Amino acid sequence: MKNITIHNKTLPIPSFFQVLNYGGGAGDKTRELVYAYLSENIPALLNYYYINNEYTHVFQSPYFNNILSFNTIGDALNYVKQQIITKDGSFYKKVDIQPCDFNKKVILLDTGSSNIVKYVAKECNYNIEKFKTKIVEHAINYYNFANRLKFDMVVAFDLGGKYTFKDNEANNLNLQTFYTQLNNAEINHLLLKETIKYLKHNQKFYPYVLATVHGDTPSNYEIYTKEILKLENIFEYNFFGFALGGIASSKNIDSSWYDGIEFSKNKKVKDATLPARAISIVHNIVGNRYIHALGCGGYPNIPLNYYCGASSFDAASPARRVGDGNILSTKYIFSPKIEIPPHAKFSKYFVGGYNSDNSPREENFDYIPLLDVDNNLTLCGCTACNQIKSISDLKTLYSLQANNAEAFYYARQLMNIHAISQHRKLCQIISLYNSMKDFYNSNPNELNYALLSIYNQIMSKKDIC
């Protein structure tokens, strides 16, 4: 697949989507919008649950209270950014904040369905029959919302695959019983049908729609994909592409995903296998159609994702690794290691990857604590690195937390956007090669070798999928 155009915006293939979670957290999430001009040409994924204040949630922003009064999601985000700067003053005053037009970005809307399922379940007093009716209403509201705000793309509404319990939810017996009784497959089938009917009736629906695929085993993934194609035929409606869910984490997954695959000791490669396998299964069935792998855009995954057939992917890992740092660590960023208390956790900096001139960097890919990054490490030349002169500068900003929290947040966003830029750079590099083998031959390193080995095994096992 080559670059595509969506609503007059170019989307390179493959593309890494930055996750913007304003409304889903404080601190860094707010500054993601402030410094978005440093990643202006990188597409973004937003979570419906976080930006829709109809669902009351912990970090909801009052600036989203009238979100439906805007013509586009880009206009809404432009407004929010302006409010954060002028009303909240949440930016580093020594930086000349540049404008960023969010309308230029390709923006994908994801449902945040696991939170919505909990919300609706409670609303229905954990009654399954009521839930079935209500959840369809929520799905229709979701599509109306996406259409009204002219999102470029949307992930079709479904229940998701597996549920995790947060905080006190493990003690919520009503919710637990509800999950046990919930027939996900049945309700997802119903939602898929209702989605197609809605889209057939709304021929001018603005966003490009990605049908969501789930399945706890390779064979169920295959069955689900074929089911979507069957419904497409029956209703004579074609989705734009597919969004693959439930494959971002390999925790507690069915062991059959690894059938016939031998791993090297590289843990990063093992985590990349599940999405690659799922993408390969779907790609074999749907051919050269658009595939987005939800949450699967971690750096080591990218080559496997692409050569197995994915067009795009997202990941919050750059932001999460920055979030690994705590405030205590800011006091010790220039201290000798021996003086550092065990509770001081440093934000992690992406090392490895490529320079802006496409030359490979000497370090192997990793996220390492900022403390351990050499003050003289050469910067990569990305938009974030171009804001500072050295790693020392970055550490100084980080160290200013006690007197100027905004300097600290700025340092964290520079680290976040540097990592995101590296993900985008890898997408650009791999698009230059027609095969995983060609990519490896020109970019030989330990990680790519391990990825090539997994890729060859997945391809040779195609028949068992």
Region binding Zn ion by CB under 5 A among candidate stretches 265-273, 374-382, 435-443, 444-452: 374-382
Q: Which is nearer to Zn ion, 379 or 454 (CB)?
A: 379
Region binding Zn ion by CB under 5 A among candidate stretches 108-116, 367-375, 410-418, 430-438: 410-418
Q: Cβ of residue 375: shortest distance to Zn ion, in angstroms?
A: 16
Q: Which is nearer to Zn ion, 213 or 380 (CB)?
A: 380
Q: Count residues binding Zn ion (CB under 5 A).
A: 4
Q: Let me know the angle formed at the C-alpha of 120 by 116 and 124, rounded to the nearest 5 degrees.
A: 170
Q: Cβ of residue 88: shortest distance to Zn ion, in angstroms?
A: 27
State the Cα–Cα distance between residues 370 and 24, nearest whole angstrom: 25
431 in Cβ contact with 14 (< 8 Å): yes
Q: Cβ of residue 418: shortest distance to Zn ion, in angstroms?
A: 4
Q: Which is nearer to Zn ion, 136 or 382 (CB)?
A: 382
The yes or no reply on residue 426 touching Zn ion (CB under 5 A) is no
The yes or no reply on residue 385 touching Zn ion (CB under 5 A) is yes
Q: Which is nearer to Zn ion, 210 or 351 (CB)?
A: 351
How distant, in Å, are the alpha carbons of 281, 294, 299 from that of 218?
7, 17, 23
Using DSSP's 3-state secondary structure scheme, residue 11 falls into strand
How distant, in Å, are the alpha carbons of 332, 369, 411, 447 from that of 402?
12, 20, 14, 39
Q: Which of 380, 407, 429, 452 binds Zn ion (CB under 5 A)?
A: 380
The yes or no reply on residue 244 touching Zn ion (CB under 5 A) is no
What is the DSSP code string of 384-437? TGGG-SSHHHHHHHHHGGGT-HHHHHHHHHHHHHHHHHHHHHHHHHHTT-SSHH
The yes or no reply on residue 277 touching Zn ion (CB under 5 A) is no
Q: Cβ of residue 299: shortest distance to Zn ion, in angstroms?
A: 13
277 in Cβ contact with 459 (< 8 Å): no
State the Cα–Cα distance between residues 421 and 39, nearest whole angstrom: 8
Q: Which is nearer to Zn ion, 138 or 418 (CB)?
A: 418
The yes or no reply on residue 321 touching Zn ion (CB under 5 A) is no
Q: Cβ of residue 355: shortest distance to Zn ion, in angstroms?
A: 9
What length is written for the chain? 465
Within 36-156, strands assigned E span 44-47, 107-110, 153-155
How distant, in Å, are the alpha carbons of 38, 68, 330 from that of 97?
10, 27, 24
The yes or no reply on residue 418 touching Zn ion (CB under 5 A) is yes
Q: Which is nearer to Zn ion, 249 or 355 (CB)?
A: 355
Q: Which is nearer to Zn ion, 382 or 436 (CB)?
A: 382
Q: Cβ of residue 333: shortest distance to Zn ion, in angstroms?
A: 19
Region binding Zn ion by CB under 5 A among candidate stretches 89-97, 143-151, 367-375, 380-388: 380-388
How distant, in Å, are the alpha carbons of 75, 312, 425 from that of 322?
28, 23, 19
Structure tokens, 408: 């600290």
Q: Which of 44, 248, 344, 382 binds Zn ion (CB under 5 A)?
A: 382
State the Cα–Cα distance between residues 276 and 221, nearest whole angstrom: 13
Q: Cβ of residue 417: shortest distance to Zn ion, in angstroms?
A: 8
Report the interface residues with Zn ion, using CB under 5 A: 380, 382, 385, 418
